[in-house]
Amino acid sequence: MTPMVTRHLMIPSKTSYLSLVRTILGDLLQGERVDSKDSDAIILSVDEALSNVIEHAHKEAREESIGITLAFGADSFSIVIADRGRPFHPSIVTRYEVQNRVQEKRSHGYGLYLMHTLMDKITYERTKEGNRLLMIKRLRKNRA
């Protein structure tokens, strides 16, 4: 059985840190020999989730931090993003809804659709500490 590899990260709730998270995540995914398409999907979904926390949950709390815990299993990747901001439920956006947004040339509302499309499972929990988002991605088979 492949042992579970976990990593923890705490970042300031600022968009200027998104690039750093993507770089760290990319290196970890590469180190775990995750397929590049899976890696791209995970990085984009995590970036979208963090952007939502910074811009919505922490809208009036710019000095807050965001906790990130990620774990690599034998055939899956999971990540928990935790914040102490206002409730922000990552509702499912349907294909129909996103098509309407595109037709209307709306400039917002695409991030959640990307997350739900690219990840295999997303669960949200409002705890007494704040928001807790879990995202899981099944990984392709070319890992060692």
Partner 1 sequence: MILKLSGSLDAHTVNQLEETLAQCVAQGQVWLIFDLGGLDYVSSAGMGLLIGRLDEVRAKGGDLVVAAARPNVHKVFQILGFDKIFRLFHDVEAAVVAGGKP
Closest to 56 in 3D by CA, of 33, 87, 26: 87
Which residues does 101 contact at the CB level (< 8 Å), separation at least 6?
Answer: 109, 110
Site pattern 54..93 for partner 1 (x: CB under 8 A)? xx--------------------------------------
Site for partner 1 contains 40 (CB under 8 A): yes
Residues sharing a CB contact under 8 Å with residue 25, sequence separation 6 or more, in sequence order: 42, 43, 46, 70
Q: Which of 44, 61, 71, 122 binds partner 1 (CB under 8 A)?
A: 44
When asked if residue 122 is in the footprint of partner 1 (CB under 8 A), the reply is: no
- Give CA angle at 52 (122, 42), nearest 5°: 50
Q: Which residues bind partner 1 (CB under 8 A)?
A: 15-16, 18-19, 22, 40, 43-44, 47-48, 51, 54-55, 98-99, 102-103, 105-111, 113-114, 117-118
